[in-house]
Each structure stands twice: as structure tokens, then as C-alpha cells.
Amino acid sequence: MSIVDLASLGESFTRDPYPVYARLRSQGPVHRIRMPEGGTQAWLVVGHEAGRAALTDDRLSKDWSKASPSLGLGAVSAGPHMLRADPPDHTRLRKLVAREFTARRVEELAPLIQKTTDVLLDRMLTAGEGRADLVEALSFPLPIAVICELLGVPDLDRDSFRAWSNDAISATDPLIRKAAAEAMAQYMRELVQDKSRHPGQDLLSALIQGSGEDPDGLSFEELVGMAWLLLVAGHETTVNLISNGVLALLTHPDQLAALRADFGRIDGAVEEMLRYDGPVETPTYRFTTEPVTIGDTEIPGGGELVLVALADANRDAARFPEPERFDISRDARGHVAFGHGIHYCLGAPLARLEARIAIRTLLQRCPDLHLDIHPAAISWRAGLMIRGPQSLPVRFTR
């Protein structure tokens, strides 16, 4: 099988990967690729049916110890966590935090999310000359503020943390990814140590306290890994959901008008945003523990790297008619923007709630919101994992 060199496609692929994925899907459900991240070779699964099946295949392990040494991969996260574990470890780790992300607990955060959104929009609307970078003004500071409040880390060095997170997840240079991961790991260790000395009424304190009382609790390194996961996943997904969603609306004025005419459609609009241009292009890595046949292709065992193109699964015409059309009235159920199976995103209810509140409030307070840049000039995050603009210039009447 020939290798599809995604690394050679450059900015055009980063800006719009969907035609490339669609072309690959027309040729079959699995392809050998070279990733933009360091040129690492992997197997890419495309299409909705094949993608969902791969996400639940227990022959594809999330445990990095199963990765083939020949891949030369270095983990970017600080410590072990749910997205690097298989059952029974995964089951134990997820159970310890799942109770904090129930529908009731998430809804209790709505007043905080609304207040934070209002404060951020007050600042955006009174600064500058009717122009702003929406990523800087709303998409990033809202989710990071909410997850910091939930975890009890109000003094997070947000500028450093954002730079580390961007580099660890999106940098294509392995040395930059490694340096960011190491810096973040040290920061997380100090954070857990400080929270151990000064506990509060928050999730991280509860996890630390429970770890000392429960024989199935988290070790120190697992606490570090959990803090990393909750902070990084807790903001990256929502940042790019908000940015991508607003961009989709501003580039589809008929759909923007339909939502403005009836904000009761916001739930369906957010689901379509997730399907149409979701924040996760491919999820975290999976490794073969034995040969896996997908379509007519056998992926060897022995720790081969497998990626599932969530972005393509959500644009598969076999599941979503006219998939290239952004339509907030569409029944978008069945999308895999938050994954599928046991690794389905634990924070999906929180991300949805933040997006609903942020986007509705933004549109209500900025009735003439427009892009302040040509869509083709937008600079996008590099790499295959997170999809979103680095900045999103907008204009409005003060």
C-alpha cells in the first residue's frame, strides 16, 4: 500500500482537510499515511461506519506501553490518565471523576458560565474600535475560566499554559512538543503538590482527598495526569467548538439569520456545528495489539499507530445527506465529534452548555457581528488532533 503524505500537503490541508479525507474515503476505509507531526507513519480510518467500529475495537489499545518502539513517539501528557488507559484501569480512572460531570452537576455551572460570558463580552464591546479577536476575547478565556473554577486553580498561569497546550498538541516539530510536554508536566506536579497542602471545595481537592482514603484512588502520578487531562481537554475542545461554530455561522448568513430569528434552535445548531466542523479532527492515539482487518486491508499487530478521522466520519454522505451543507435544522445525531464508546468525551455536556450560552449571548449582544478577515486568510492550528483557528478577527458596532 502506498503512503499518503499528509505532511507534504501543507497549509491547504490544515485549512480544509475535508476534500482530502473524502477522496481517501472513496478509495477505501483505511490508508497508510505520513502525519504532519514529525512525519510519523500511521494508519488512518475514514468514513462513519468504519470510524465508529474502530472507536470500539478493543484490539486498538490506548495504552502507550503497547506502542511499537519503531514509531519513536513520546507522550505529550503529564502522567497516566483515562485517554492512555484500557479497562480495567480506564474504568477505575473514569469512575473517579464521572460523578462531577453528570447532567445535574453541569447544569449547576450555567450561572457561572453566563456571568463569565457577560464579563468577557462587556470587556470586548468596550475595548478597541469595534474589532476583536474572538479567540482571545471569548473562545479561550471562557472555558479556561470555567475549568479552573471547577478544579480550584484560580492562579493558573494562563498565558504559559495556553502556549504549552498549543505546542504539546499542535506543534509538528517533535522537539517543540517534547519541551512543552515537559514544562507542563513540571507545572502540573507543582500544582498537585500545592493543592495537597492547601485543599479547597473543588474537584482537584476532592480527587486528592479521595486518593488518600480509597485504595482504588489515584496515585500521585495519576493525579498529575488527571489534572493535565481535565485542564487540557477541559478547555481545548470548547475553545475550538465556539470558534468553529461562530465561523460556520458567519460564513453561512442564511443559517445565522435562522438562529437569530429563533434562539430556541441553539441546541440543534450546536450539534450541527459539532458535525460540520468539530474541534477534534482525530482523537488520541490507538495501537494495535493484534492484526485488525478494516475493509480489504489488514493492519498489522505489534503496536501500529491507528488514527480515526472523526472529521471525515461526520462528513460521510452515507450517514449525513449533503454533508458539506451547514444546516442548523439538520438532525445531526450520530455524529462522533466527541468520540464513541468507552472513551466518549466525559466533558461533552459541559462543552455543549458553554457553547450554547457563549454563542447565543454573543449573537444577542452583537446583532451586526461579521468576520473581519477573508475566510481563506484564517490561520489554522497545525497537526491532526485539534481543529480550530489560531485567531478569529470579528467586527461589530460598539
pLDDT at residue 128 tops 80: no
For 137-163, the pLDDT digits (tens) are 999 999 999 988 888 887 777 778 778
Q: Where do the domains of the chain lie? A: 3-395
- Separation of alpha carbons 229 and 343, rounded Å: 13
Q: List strands edge to edge, sheet with 30-34.
A: 3-5, 30-34, 41-45, 305-308, 286-288, 60-61
Task: Compute the distance between CA of residue 72 and CA of residue 64 in angstroms, rounded to an integer.
Answer: 12
How far is Cα 110 from Cα 113, in angstroms, rounded to an integer?
5
pLDDT attached to residue 63 = 94
Give tens-digit pLDDT for 3-43.
Answer: 999 989 989 999 999 999 999 999 999 999 999 888 899 99
- State the CB neighbour count (10 A cutoff) for residue 238: 26
Q: Can you give the pLDDT at residue 156? A: 76
Q: What angle do CA 271, 277, 283 make, to 5 degrees?
A: 95
Sheet containing strand 131-133, strands side by side: 131-133, 393-395, 370-371
Contact 28, 297 (CB under 8 A): yes
- Model pLDDT, residue 286: 97
95's enclosing H/E stretch is helix 89-98
Residue 178 has pLDDT above 70, yes or no: yes
Q: Identify the pLDDT of residue 269.
A: 98
- pLDDT (tens digit per residue) in 193-224: 988 888 888 888 888 887 666 656 788 888 88
pLDDT tens for 48-89 read: 999 999 999 999 999 999 999 999 887 666 678 888 999 999
Q: Is the pLDDT of residue 231 over 80?
A: yes
- Which tens digit of pLDDT belongs to each residue from 274-326? 999 999 999 999 999 999 999 999 999 999 999 999 999 999 999 999 999 99
Would you state the pLDDT for residue 212? Answer: 63
pLDDT on residue 99: 77
Mean pLDDT of the chain: 91
Percent of the chain with pLDDT over 90: 66
Interval 123-132 mean pLDDT:
91
* Three cell numbers written together for 132: 476583536
Fold of 3-395: Cytochrome p450 (1.10.630)
**Is pLDDT of 172 > 80?**
no
Q: How many CB atoms lie within 10 A of CB 74?
A: 13
